[in-house]
Structures are given as C-alpha cells and as structure tokens.
Structure 1
Amino acid sequence: MNKDFSFIILTFNEEIHLPRLLESIKDLHAKTYILDSGSTDKTLKIAAAYGAEVLQNPFENHPKQWDFALKHFQIITPWTIGLDADQRVTPELFEMLANFNDAEHGDINGIYFNRKNFFQGSWIRFGTFYPFYLLKMFRTGIGYSDLNENMDHRFIVPGKTEIWKKGWILEENLKENDIAFWKIKHERYSDLIAQEEIERMQKLRIQRIKPNLLGSPDEKRAWLKRLWWKLPLGFRPYLYFGYRMFFKLGIFEGATGIKFHYLHSFWFRQLVDKKIKALQKQTHKI
C-alpha cells in the first residue's frame, strides 16, 4: 500500500465516470476513500469492486461535502489527494505521483495539478481555462475545505505550495454532453452563487484567501473574484464573455468551445445576476 498519499473522491451517480478515474490511479496502490451523496446507480458496486472505503452524507454543497470527507475519513498517510469523479489522472501525472517521495517535500504543504477541461469531447484550451491550476494534493490534517464559498470548492493550506505544470488531470463530465442536463445543473448552481453574493454584500462572508494578482493560483483567483463582485450587475456577463472570447482567445476554440464559453461566461452569469436582483428586491420588501 502506498505510504505517501491517499485519495478522496466525491460521488453521486457516477457509474459512467468512476471506473475511468479508478482505473487511472489503481496502480499507484493508494488507499481510496469515497464520499457518496446517495447514488442510486452502480456507483457503490464499482467502489466496492476497487476496494474503496465508502461513507455517505447528504449533499448540501461541495465545500461542506469536502469538509465532511476530510473530517470523517481516518487518513494515515502524510498526504491527501482530493479528486472529483469526472476527473482522471493522466500518464504524466501518474508518473509524477509514482515517483513522489514525502521526504523530498519537507517544506511544502500543498501541490497544484494542472487541469485540462473537456466539454462535449473538445479540450477547452483558451478563454482562461488552460493552464488552470488546482490545489489537489495537500498535507493530511493541514489542508482544509474553504467553507466561505457556497458553490466553488477549493482546498486551503498555510505555508508553501508548488505547481506541477506538466502533471495533468483531465476533467470531462460526460453527463454534460446533454445541454439540458448542463442547464438544469447550472440552474441549481446559480441559486447557490446568487445567495452567496447577497451574503457577501451583507458582510456575512469574507474571503479566506488573501487576494493577490501576483500570488498563487488561488490568490490570483481571489483577486479577480473581488474585482468581479465590484462590477455592475447585468453588465459584467457581457464584459466577462468578451474578455474570454477576445482577450483570452476563446474565439479560436472552435464551435463546441465557443458554445461552452457562451454558456459558462454569459448565459450562466446572466442568470446569476438576474437572481441576485430578484433577491435584492425581496430583501428590500422585508
């Protein structure tokens, strides 16, 4: 059994994704823990077939689900790797993990993996989506879930981190090949984000990560989010879509990629802004 790291995976009806991910990591011989939120398909049977330890917890949002996982799995390895079921480890990242030695990372508390995101079979390589660094590997007991977010989830570690630029994870949600599924999913997400932004306006939420445009990938994203919250509602989706399409070259993505950028940076963000305005009206009536 791998003595350096263990995996945690979140699942909900992931029978089309989970075998792909577990196959990509099985030869690392690392203990695997799965937190499921009530799957009714073959997810649990697949987890058992690969020898994963499974717990179940009702889903509220991603940050709280990750928090539950980190607090309830008894991980004994010095490092933990948190993955989503629709991700998988590339051979390049597999090799880096296979050669990983905790003793060589004594002053490091977190490691960023580089993500390649796919939508309907197309790699989204422009429009801010590549390179995209995610803190996925962290010292057990030191890394924690950022509960200050309502939808976006990230792990936070104090101290030093490093970035593995060539160790990729591939992320492709095959369910999102159905645009109807994508829209229903993001309808739910828009509710979470709208409520979160209202609470930020009311000073009920603060950023846990220090915004820094020149800092770590998460510090840079925190800086950009702080800027985003200051932009006028209704106008910012147009600005964001234009930024991704032209300044970040999304226009060269191809038809599928352009559709993704439109849905993700305009349609979805416009929906969020509409729901924020609706919540603001309700608040003023009270």
Structure 2
Amino acid sequence: MSGQASGGRVPIAVVMIALNEAHNLEAVLDNLDGWAEEVFLVDSHSADGSVDIALRRGVHVVQRRFNGFGEQWNFALSELPIQAPWTMKLDPDERLTDRLKHGIAAAIERGQGDALSFDRRLWFMGRPLPVRQPVLRAWRTGRCRFTDVVVNEHPLVEGRVERIDGELEHHDSPDLEHWLDKQNLYTSAEAAAALRGDALAAPPRLFGTSLQRRMWVKRHYRKLPFRYVAMFFYHYVVLGAWRAGRVGYAWSHMRCEVYRLVEYKLREMRSTGRVPVRRHAGPGAPDARVRQY
C-alpha cells in the first residue's frame, strides 16, 4: 500500500480527545494540515470554543461525556467512522516534527509493521527538555485497544511494532498555572483510583515487560524509603533534565511534587472516607432572580 493517499496525504486517521483545548487546537491542526487523510476529535463538552475551531477546520467532531481516558479512547477506536488503513493517537498539545511525518509515511509505505513507536520529547516552560520517552502511537486500523483505566492508559496492539526515527514534541502546557490545574485533576484521579483499588494497566512484575515493571514501581512506590530523593535523582540526573538548567531543575522538582500530591490526597481520602468534589472555579452566568449591577 502506498504511503501517500490522494492529494499527497498520508493514509492515516489522527484521533484526539479533548476538553477545553482551544489554546492548542489551531496549532495542532496547522501541524496536521495537508498531512493526515482524516482527523477526528472526541470532545468532552468543552466550554472554550474547541468545537468551533475544530468544525471550522474540517475536523470530524463528536461529543461524549468523559469517564476515564481508557474508556474514552476505546470508544473512539470502536465508534468513530475511521476509513484510513492506519490510525494515530495524538494529544492536542503534541506536534509532529517533519522528520517524524516522513518516518511515518515511509513506514506505512514499507508495510512491514503493524504498529509504530517513536520518541516523544517534552517541552516545559516554553523550552525543550533533554527528556525523551518511547511511545506507541500509530497502528493498523482495528489492531489496537487501550487498557481500561481512568488515567495513564496504554495501547495494546496486535502484531509487530516497528521503531522509527523522528520526534513527537509534547508542549505540556502554555504556562505553569495551566500545568498546575492539570496536575491537580490528575493527582485527584490517581488517588481516587488507588482508594478504590482499581486494577493497574498491566500486572505488576519486577522482571516482566517494561510496562509491567512500571506498574510494579507504581504499586510499591509509596512503601519505598527515600522515594522522593530517588525520584528527583531519576528525573534530574538519569533522564538528563540537568542539561536544561533551571527549567530542568524546576521540572524535576515539580514531578516529585506530583507524586507527593497523590500520596497526600490518598491519605486524606482514607482519613475522611470521601473523594473531593470538583468545584466550579470561575464566575457563572447572571442569575435572573436577583438584581444586577
């Protein structure tokens, strides 16, 4: 099968899920313009113009209430009318480099793999960090499902995974205020999942696959002595964030605080016996029952 569809596009459907991502959508759609054969958005009832932008740019949009990342992605893969022979998962805050675009097109042209993995590079406070992680983001349509977890979902793909060149840029947040809002939601979801005893994305095994080892660390992390010192060392030294100077130091420190927040929130939930309710953070519409000034 040719790696280029009609009009020079790559025969791949890019799928995104989103809630209030208007600040990212124009840029990510510019990044995909003229490259992807199809673009889909599963919107969780955004209130910031996300749907307006996507529709104006010709994206196929559906809306569905968000109950968890794994469930939302499995809905997208099973219910969206994807016609392209390949499918790619993309977050609105991610951008494909030209090298990655060429690498994906070439791999589809070769037709030797059933899924594609490549590096994702993190950007933080407007700067690229020397931190890369391998991610599996593209597969033959119909060959993938996601672990059914609330957060930190993982793709489960049938077939051979091919490693390709090129980077996916992860522009995590436009500013720290937005980043902290995201981490507040994430840590609450992680703590609530731990309180319920939800199953992990894979069986935790110290000598298993890479994913199983990560789940083993996740299962036992809160029992480890000096865990936050070790976590900072891992991010700052092992991953090489020190090379980004003060930004790398800030990122390494704040990553530790994310894990600490999960632990504190879980402790609070066990103590109070309840999960906090998300509160409305901004002004609403005027109430017609009272006089306005």
* TM-score bin, normalised by smaller chain: 0.7 to 0.9
Distance 1:4 1:184 in 2: 36
Deviations 1:96-130 (A, max 9, x none): 2343435x324x322112111101111121xxx32
Distance 1:122 1:168 in 2: 15
Which residue of the partner structure matches residue 105 of structure 1?
111
Distance 2:83 2:35 in 1: 16
Which residue of the partner structure matches residue 158 of structure 1?
158
Kindly indicate whether the alpha-carbon contact (under 8 Å) linking 1:191 and 1:272 is maintained by their aligned counterparts in 2.
Answer: yes
Would the alpha carbon gap of residues 262 and 150 (structure 1) be closer, same or farther in structure 2, given more than 3 Å must change?
Answer: same
Kindly indicate whether the alpha-carbon contact (under 8 Å) linking 1:233 and 1:273 is maintained by their aligned counterparts in 2.
Answer: no
1:118 and 2:123 are equivalent in the alignment: yes
Distance 1:181 1:26 in 2: 26
Which residue of the partner structure matches residue 34 of structure 1?
41
Which residue of the partner structure matches residue 285 of structure 2?
none
Which residue of the partner structure matches residue 271 of structure 1?
261
Distance 1:39 1:59 in 2: 11
Any gaps of 5 or more consecutive residues in structure 2?
1-5, 274-293
Moved more, 224-233 or 48-57: 224-233
1:196 and 2:202 are equivalent in the alignment: no
**1:199 Cα deviation after fit:** 4.0
Counterparts in 2 of 1:1-286, with a 5 A limit? 1=6, 2=9, 4-101=11-108, 104-106=110-112, 108-125=113-130, 129-130=131-132, 132-147=133-148, 149-164=149-164, 166-175=165-174, 177=175, 179-200=176-197, 204-208=198-202, 219-231=209-221, 232=223, 235-264=226-255, 266-281=256-271
Would the alpha carbon gap of residues 122 and 3 (structure 1) be closer, same or farther in structure 2, given more than 3 Å must change?
Answer: closer
Name which one, 1 or 2, has greater alpha-carbon Rg. 2
Deviations 1:172-203 (A, max 9, x none): 1343x1x2332222121111111223344xxx
Distance 1:239 1:210 in 2: 20
Distance 1:98 1:189 in 2: 34
Would the alpha carbon gap of residues 142 and 29 (structure 1) be closer, same or farther in structure 2, given more than 3 Å must change?
Answer: closer
- For residue 137 of structure 1, what is the amino acid of its counterpart? A
Report percent identity of matched pairs: 22
Paired positions, count: 265
- For residue 145 of structure 1, what is the amino acid of its counterpart? F
Kindly indicate whether the alpha-carbon contact (under 8 Å) linking 2:16 and 2:40 is maintained by their aligned counterparts in 1.
Answer: yes
**1:206 Cα deviation after fit:** 4.3
- For residue 112 of structure 1, what is the amino acid of its counterpart? S
Distance 1:195 1:53 in 2: 33
Any gaps of 5 or more consecutive residues in structure 1?
none
Kindly indicate whether the alpha-carbon contact (under 8 Å) linking 1:25 and 1:94 is maintained by their aligned counterparts in 2.
Answer: no
**1:144 Cα deviation after fit:** 0.8
Distance 2:266 2:226 in 1: 13
TM-score (norm 1): 0.83
